[in-house]
Amino acid sequence: MTRTLIALLCIALLAAGCGQSDAPQDEDRVSAPVCAQADESGNVRIQEGLTAEILKKGYGRVAVSKDYADVHTTLWLYDENADDGKGQEIWTSGGIDPFQFQIDSGQVIEGWDRGVTCMMLGEKRRLRIAPELGYGARGKPPVPPNATLLFEIELINLTAPE
C-alpha cells in the first residue's frame, strides 16, 4: 500500500512538471493599461490631479506606453472663471502639423503621458493637469509656477514601437 501511494505521488509530481514551458509569463508581456472609464457626462478621473473630459469618442485600440502618438493640441492656463476653464492660451500645434512624442519616454510632462495613455485614435479630450503633474513650482516660461494646465488633445495617429 505504501509503495503504491509513493508511486502515485511521484507520477503526480512528474505530470505537474510536464505542463511547464519556456513561454514568456504574463509579467513578460506588454499588456494594455487599466483604463478609467468615463461617467455618463464623458468625464474621467484618471488619478488625483488629472481629469479628462471626452469631447469626441475615438475608435480602435487604446494608446499604451512606448507608443508614438501624433496629436493636435492647444494649451491654456486653467482659469475656473473663464469659459470652459480656458484662461490664457499658451501654445497650439496649429492643427496642421501634428506634435509627436513617445508615451512614457520623458519627452512630455507626466500629466500628458498619463492623460494620453488610454486615448483611442480619433479621440479628442480635454485634460486638466494639476501643477505636480505639470511644470510644478518651477514653472516653465511662459507657464508660471504652480499653474494648473488645460490641454485639448486630439489623437490623430498611433504607431507601436518596433
What are the extents of the domains in the chain?
A: 44-159
d(CA 146, CA 118): 26
Identify the CATH assignment for 44-159 out of 3.90.110.10, 3.30.450.40, 3.40.50.300, 3.10.50.40: 3.10.50.40
Q: What is the pLDDT of residues 33-74, one digit of tens each?
A: 789 999 999 999 999 999 999 999 999 999 999 999 999 999
**CA 94 vs CA 99, 111, 112, 151, 152: distances in Å:** 10, 21, 18, 13, 12
pLDDT at 3 over 60: no
